[in-house]
Amino acid sequence: MVNLLIDIGNSDIKTGICGAVISDSKPDFKVKLLSRYPYSKSSFKKDFRKNFKNINNHVSKYSVNKIGISVLQTTNRKFITDFFIKNLKTVPEFIDINSVDQIKIKYKKGLGNDRICNAVAAETIFQNRNKLIIDFGTATTYTLVSNKTLTGGMISPGIKTSLNSLISRTSLPAIPLAFPKNIFNDNTKDNIKSGVLYQSLFAAERVITEMKKKHGDLFVIATGGYSELTYKKTGLINVIDRNLVLKGINIIIS
């Protein structure tokens, strides 16, 4: 029996499977990633149906116990619920602030469900310390968990979002994202790469440094599609886990 885990972000959908978390000394947090694919908000239902065929090819090999979903656009919940009742005969569980009992949350309205999942996974897996989760996705989000409580954070434009904004508003060329060898360079493409990536890196390092002044034992976790780019360039991030949201979903629904 496995749980089907689905993370519907701002621009991508990730799916994975994992066994239920059992309350013992060494629970299994390993997630098998099934797929990751982009979607368009304007054609979400069409994209979801199309890509579910690939997911179903994997899921059909297993007996699905529960379906857990973190979705940022709540308007699609009815469609998703009806879809899984029809196709897998299972009512999905949607993660929200009321689903969680693993941590306390001190945050006003509007907290993203993906950040809740990140916080729960971080608290469960990396215990007995203060944690800063940096999610390098469409937005770069910072979430602090202190004394088993999500106390807040900050949101900034993501790496690819910054690049797209720059390219769309100038005559600069589109480029692939990779750190150039040097910070200062003598060609436009490397200037763009350096500007976008080092801006994000230096911002993350400064935030970490400032938060460590208040929380000296701070444990920093990077996640999200662009986390690896930054993780390789700094010594201030303790660990990278690109499946943190999926792990959080599994912990919450188990």
Mean pLDDT score, 82-97: 94
What is the per-residue pLDDT across 179-224, written as a single tens digit (0 to 9) for each? 999 999 999 999 999 999 999 999 999 999 999 999 988 999 999 9
Distance from C-alpha of 135 to C-alpha of 118, rounded to nearest angstrom: 9
Distance from C-alpha of 162 to C-alpha of 220, rounded to nearest angstrom: 23
Catalytic residue among 114, 135, 190, 241: 114
Nearest to 114 by CA among 90, 133, 91, 131: 133
Distance from the Cα of residue 133 to its chain's centroid:
10
Q: If you average pLDDT over every residue of the chain, what do you get? A: 92
What is the per-residue pLDDT across 13-30, written as a single tens digit (0 to 9) for each? 999 999 877 655 556 688
> Active-site residue 114, yes or no?
yes
Distance from C-alpha of 5 to C-alpha of 70, rounded to nearest angstrom: 8
Round to the nearest angstrom and report the end-to-end CA distance of the chain: 12
pLDDT number for residue 220:
98
Is 155:140 a contact under the CB 8 Å cutoff?
Answer: yes
